[in-house]
């Protein structure tokens, strides 16, 4: 008796490791779009879950961005049910492209829907179908933005209840597995639309593989794994440094208390920040700006660099503009971050 196709076997192996986190009777939900990656994942989860006495279901998110999206979502839900997954639910979301663009808005709506479904069903885990190729594209985008080690660290394998079992599996393997398992997938035309940055990164990656030789995507994914360890360590140091800015003692150099300068949401002593190593300090800046009220997704390297210049290149410059809108101002040996003063 022959075993499964090698691609299917590889996917089942990595799925088995993730489902091993669950206790018998726990529910794991697959986020399924109807594409090859998530269908291959759904099939592997359906195969492996019963062996571990884990319940397995699926959530199909319909973004409503294509005239065929409702039919695609219904078909994907039917495929998941046919695989033996239960419960299977389809959620229609409204995507309103804001300042961060359609891709970001769709992602936010999708994760909100998946989180709500997991809460509704009491799911232990939600499994996502991102592959090694997706990871490589993410790292390439981080390189293009010049946004630091955290961005280059790519997508984490685990965050909260979300898991990405396929980050070591290629897109070619998921398609091969679907063919072997008799699964027909849907190719989203948005995945070929160069108006989206991720599509352009995908095409650039193909060019790099052609010009530099095979293995570029795998090398970028390995780089993400290595940098994530570094970024996690630096983030831990930044959290520890920030925790020392105790609001309960005037002798501790920083806080969020009523004795801060007027209009400041957060303040920190210049000497305390300068005592930190720069890679840690820039992460503390980001945390301080977010703590003062800036949307986390809008705080860029440009903002943290400008805050740091108030320490390292101080020559009496005016306030630094930050998302919120907020501003950072240096005076009396402190940098204050808060809402701009209103002119009466």
Q: Are 334 and 269 in contact (CB under 8 A)?
A: yes
Greatest mean pLDDT range, 71-75, 185-189, 291-295: 71-75
**Integer Cα distance of 303 and 62 in angstroms:** 35
Phi, psi of 168 (to 5 degrees): -100, 10
Listed in sequence order, the residues at least 6 apart from 313 whose beta carbon sits closer than 8 Å to its beta carbon are none
Judged against a pLDDT cut of 80, whether residue 100 lies above it is answered with: no
pLDDT at 145: 73
Position of tokens 């945390």? 287
Q: Is 40 exposed, middle or buried (0-12, 13-18, 19+ CB in 10 A)?
A: buried
Q: What is the pLDDT of residues 45-99, one digit of tens each?
A: 999 999 999 999 999 998 888 888 899 999 999 999 999 999 999 999 888 876 6
User: Topology of 6-132+155-223 in CATH?
Assistant: Rossmann fold (3.40.50)
**So where are the chain's domains?**
6-132+155-223, 254-338
The predicted pLDDT at position 226 comes to 87
> Per-residue pLDDT for 262 more than 80?
no
The pLDDT value given to residue 105: 86
Per-residue confidence band for 146, with pLDDT thresholds at 50, 70 and 90:
low
What letter does residue 101 receive in the DSSP assignment? B
Nearest by Cα to 341 from 281, 265, 256: 265
Has residue 41 got a pLDDT over 50? yes
Structure tokens at 272: 């305390």
Contacts of 82 (CB under 8 A, 6+ apart): none
Whether the domain at 6-132+155-223 and the domain at 254-338 fall into the same CATH topology: no
For residues 33 and 65, is the Cβ–Cβ distance under 8 A? no
CB 217 within 8 A of CB 170: yes
Class of domain 254-338: alpha beta
249 — pLDDT class (breaks 50, 70, 90): very low
- Whole-angstrom Cα distance, residue 47 to residue 83? 8
Q: Residue 321: is its pLDDT beyond 60?
A: yes
Mean pLDDT of the chain: 88
Q: What is the pLDDT of residue 196?
A: 82
pLDDT of residue 252: 45
């Amino acid at each position: 008796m022959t075993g499964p196709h090698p691609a299917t076997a590889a996917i089942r192996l990595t799925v088995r490791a993730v489902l091993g986190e669950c206790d018998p009777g726990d529910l794991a939900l697959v986020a399924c779009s109807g594409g090859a990656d998530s269908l291959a994942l759904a099939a592997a989860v359906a195969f492996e879950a019963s062996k571990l006495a884990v319940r397995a279901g699926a959530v199909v998110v319909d973004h409503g961005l294509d005239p065929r999206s409702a039919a695609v979502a219904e078909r994907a839900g039917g495929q998941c049910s046919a695989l033996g997954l239960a419960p299977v639910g389809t959620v229609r979301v409204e995507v309103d492209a804001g300042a961060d663009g359609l891709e970001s808005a769709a992602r936010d709506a999708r994760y909100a829907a998946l989180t709500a479904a997991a809460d509704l069903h009491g799911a232990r885990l939600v499994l996502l179908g991102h592959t090694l190729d997706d990871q490589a594209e993410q790292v390439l985008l981080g390189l293009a933005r010049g946004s630091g080690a955290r961005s280059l660290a790519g997508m984490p394998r685990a965050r909260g209840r979300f898991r990405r079992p396929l980050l070591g599996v290629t897109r070619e393997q998921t398609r091969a597995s679907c063919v072997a398992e008799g699964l027909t997938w849907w190719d989203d035309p948005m995945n070929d639309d160069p108006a989206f940055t991720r599509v352009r990164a995908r095409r650039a990656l193909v060019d790099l593989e052609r010009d530099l030789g095979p293995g570029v995507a795998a090398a970028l994914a390995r780089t993400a794994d290595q940098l994530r360890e570094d970024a996690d360590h630096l983030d831990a140091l930044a959290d520890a440094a920030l925790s020392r800015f105790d609001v309960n003692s005037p002798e501790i150099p920083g806080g969020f208390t009523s004795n801060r300068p007027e209009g400041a949401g957060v303040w920190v002593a210049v000497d305390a920040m300068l005592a930190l190593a720069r890679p840690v300090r820039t992460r503390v800046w980001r945390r301080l700006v977010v703590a003062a009220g800036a949307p986390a997704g809008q705080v860029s390297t440009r903002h943290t660099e400008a805050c740091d210049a108030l320490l390292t290149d101080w020559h009496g410059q005016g306030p630094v503009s930050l998302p919120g809108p907020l501003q950072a101002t240096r005076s009396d040996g402190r940098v204050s971050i808060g809402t701009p003063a209103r002119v009466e």
